[in-house]
Chains A and B, each alone.
Chain A
Amino acid sequence: MSTEEFSIRKYLRDVPLPFCLGCGDLTVMNCFLRAVHELGYDDLHDFVFCSGIGCAAWIPSPHFKADTIHTTHGRSIPVATGVKLVRPELNVVVFGGDGDIAGIGLSHLIHAARRNLDITVIMVNNMIYGMTGGQVAPTTPLRVKTTTTPYGSFEHPLDATHLIVAAGASYAARWTTVHREQMKEAMIDALKTKGFAFIEAVSQCPTAFGRRVGLKTVGGMLTWLKENSIPLKEANKMTESELAGKIVVGEFVRRRLPTLTETIQDVMKEATKDVRKS
C-alpha cells in the first residue's frame, strides 16, 4: 500500500471530464484509481489502457496519465490482446460499456476469457446505449422503453458475468456503483489475478436510462440499484422467477488456471528446444 494519501489528481491528466452530472462512470473511475493506489502504484506507468467507443471508454482515455489506446467500437479487447502478447509484463486493462463489450464486441470478450488472456476487463453496465441517446442494449431489462424500443424491449438481457465464468475466466465479479467498497476490493483482486479478470460494474445513467424508467434523480437510481441487488449467496437459494429483474452481486469465480501468456511461453520454450536439437 502506498504511503501517500489517496489523491485522484496524481493519476489524471488535466483534461475536463466529459461525464454527465451523476454519471456512474465517475464512481467506477474513483474505485479503480483507489484500487491502483492501494496496490501501491504511485503512477500508471506499468499500465496500458484500451477502450472502445461509448461513455465508459472515456474513463481511461484521455484522462488517465498513462498509455491509453482508444480503439474502434467493440475492438478494445483484440487490441489489448496484441499489446499483452508483445509486452506481457505490462498491466493491460480494458474499460468499456455494455454495448461496447457485450454488444458489438461480445465475441472478443468470450474468446479472451476462453484463452485466459491475462488482462482485466471492466464493463460498466448502464443497461443502455448512453452516448447515442438511449437505445436498447443487450443488457436492457425486458419491456423497458428506449428510443429504439418505444413500446418496450422484447429481448431478454444478457448475464455477461455468468457467461464469462462459463467461458473460462480466472476471476469474475459483479457489483453496482452503490457497492463502492466492494467494487474497489474487486478491482484490487482483478488486478492481482493471474489470468482473465472481469468486473461488471452495474452503473446509473440518469440521462439516458433513469428518466425512461421513471427514475429521474441520481439518488432514485442509486436506491433502485441498492434495492434490486441480491448477494450471490442469497441468489443461489432463489428461484428464477424470484430473481427476475434483480441484480446478483458478488464474486462469481476466483481460480488459478494457466494463463495465455504462461502457456505461450511454455510452447515457445519447446519450440526453441527443437531449434537447438536440429
Chain B
Amino acid sequence: MPKPSSSSTTHFWQGNQACAEAAITAGCRFFAGYPITPATEIAEHLALKLPKTGGIAIQMEDEIASLGAVIGASWAGAKAMTATSGPGFSLMQENIGYAFMTETPCVIVNVQRAGPSTGQATKSGQGDVMQARWGTHGDYAPIALSPNSVQEMYELTIRAFNLAEEYRTPVILLADEIIAHMRENITLPNPDEITIVNRKKPRPEDKAFFGSQEIPPMPAVGEGFSVSVTGSTHNEYGYRFTADQMVHQRLVKRLVDKITNNKDKIADVECYNIDSCEVGLVSYGCTSRALYELIDFGRKEKAKIGFVRLKTLWPFPDTVIRRMAQTAETIFVPEMNLQQIFYEVKRAVEGAAKVIPINKIGGGEMITPEEILAEIKRGTKLVH
C-alpha cells in the first residue's frame, strides 16, 4: 500500500470502481464489454468516465465480440480492456488464444462468481483459476493477477496494463465478487509516482513484428508498416506457415518462454515468516484476507505460522513455495473452489511438505479464519 503523502488522496470506493479508475490511469482508452454480474459496474463506470478522457466505451453484442473489439482497438494503437465473469470468460477463450498468438496487449478482467454454468451469479467463487491457466486451446502461458482488496484492484489493474504492454500479451485480472463489490478505503498515489509502461514501437526500418527478439516491437495499423496479423502459425514477418514444424515450434516456444523466462519478474507474492514457519499457508484473492488474522492466532497459540499470498497466480511462483516447504512441515491451501491451486502447490513443494486443501464453495460464503484454524489443528500437532 502506498504511504499517504501530501499529494495522495483517500477514497471510499467499490472494487469495480477502483478497477475502472485504475484502467484510465494506466492509459486505457478503449473498453468493450457485455453486461454480466458481478462485473457490470466496471463497464458502467468506464462508460461514464472514458468519453471524458477522449476514450471510447462500447457495449457489444456478446463477450466474443467484446474481446474482438478490444483486440482491434489494441492493433489500432489504444490500450484496451474488457471485463466479464465466468460465462463471458468462457466465451472469450478462443480470442484469448488469438491475442496470445498475435501478441496483442490487452486486459481481461474476470470477476469470478460461483460456477459452473450460470451457477450463483451474485455469489463469489474462485473456480476459474485453472480456466485462466488452460482455458484456450493449444500450448500457451498466461499472466493472471489476483487482487485481495479494493486497493489492490487499483494497483493490480495498473500492473495488468503494464505487463500487457511490456510483454505484448493478454493479461487476466482474476478478481472475485467479494473484492469487486466490497467498499474499502483506498489511497491513490500522486499520478506522477505511478509507473506506466507503454508498448515498444518499431523504428521506421523494422519489419519483424512477430519474432527475431523475445518481445518484438508492435506497430499500429495506419502507421504505414503494412503489418500482417494472423492467428495462424506465422514467421517473424507475420506470414503464415501452416505446415512447417520448426516455424511453429520456434513461434510457440518463444511466446511461452517470454512469460516463463521472466517468471521471477512477473510473479508477485506477499510473504510472511516463510523461512521459519512450521505451518505454511498459501492463499489468494478474497480467501487470503483470512491470513492476517491467522498470524494473530498463531502468535497467541505460540505456533509458527507463515504464509505466501499469491498476487500473481500465473505464472505460478514455484520458487517461493518451495522455499517455504523447506521449513514448513504442513502447508494448507484454502480456496473457494474444489481444489485448484492446491495441486499447483503440491507440484511445487515436490514432496518436501504435506499439502492439505481447505475448500468451501457456494453462497458467497468465505472460508473463515476459525475454519482454517480448525483445519490446522486437525491436520498438525503443532497447534493445540
Contact = CB atoms under 8 A, between A and B. Distances in A.
Contact of B232 (A45, A70, A78): A70
A86 B56 contact: yes
A189 interface: no
B229 interface: yes
B230 A79 contact: no
Contact of B68 (A66, A82, A264): A82
B221 A75 contact: no
Contact of A62 (B58, B66, B75, B228): B228
A48 B222 contact: yes
A87 B222 contact: yes
Given A78-B68, A87-B222, A268-B51, A70 B230 contact: yes
A72 B231 contact: yes
B65 A65 contact: no
Given A85-B30, A268-B51, A69 B222 contact: no
A67 interface: yes
B375 interface: no
B49 to A, nearest CB: 10
Interface in A57-94: 61-62, 65-72, 75, 77-87, 89-90
B145 interface: no
Nearest to B94: A72
Nearest to A114: B61
Contact of B61 (A72, A107, A267): A107
Given A70-B229, A75-B68, A78-B68, A87 B52 contact: no
A50 interface: yes
Interface stretch (B76-84, B116-124, B171-179, B366-374): B76-84
A271 interface: yes
Contacts of A216: none
A86 B95 contact: no
B18 interface: no
Interface string A166-187: 0000000000000000000000
Contacts of A75: 64-65, 68, 95
A258 B89 CA distance: 33
A176 B232 CA distance: 30
A1 interface: no
Query: Which size bracket describes the interface of A in this complex?
Result: 35 or more
A111 interface: yes
Contact of B75 (A72, A83, A108): A83
Nearest to B65: A78
B74 interface: yes
B222 A67 contact: yes
Contact of A83 (B29, B58, B76, B226): B76
A79 B73 CA distance: 7
A21 interface: no
Interface in B225-277: 225-232, 238-240
A82 B69 contact: yes
A13 B237 CA distance: 12
Contact of B72 (A82, A89, A107, A275): A82
A86 B73 contact: yes
B69 A87 contact: no
A86 B61 contact: no
B98 interface: yes
B52 A82 contact: no
B60 A15 contact: no
Interface in B23-74: 29-30, 32, 51-52, 54, 56, 58, 60-62, 64-74
A3 interface: no
Nearest to A78: B68
Contacts of A61: 228, 230
Contacts of B51: 267-268, 271-272
Given A50-B72, A72-B231, A78-B72, A264 B56 contact: yes
Nearest to B76: A86
Contacts of A90: 76, 221-222
A84 B52 CA distance: 19
A274 B21 CA distance: 19
Contact of B65 (A70, A81, A89, A267): A81
B224 interface: yes
A87 B222 CA distance: 8
Given A79-B69, A82-B70, A83-B72, A62 B239 contact: yes
B162 to A, nearest CB: 20
B230 A87 contact: no
Interface string A16-52: 0000000000000000000000000000111010100
Contacts of B71: 71, 79, 82
A69 B70 contact: no
Contact of B77 (A70, A87, A107, A267): A87
Q: Which of B62, B94, B226 has the most chain A CB within a 10 Å cutoff?
A: B226
B239 to A, nearest CB: 6
22 contacts: A44-B226, A45-B222, A50-B72, A66-B226, A67-B75, A67-B226, A68-B228, A69-B221, A71-B98, A75-B64, A77-B65, A78-B64, A78-B65, A78-B68, A82-B30, A82-B71, A85-B56, A85-B76, A86-B72, A107-B61, A111-B65, A275-B52
Given A78-B72, A82-B30, 5 more contacts: A48-B221, A75-B95, A78-B65, A78-B67, A85-B30
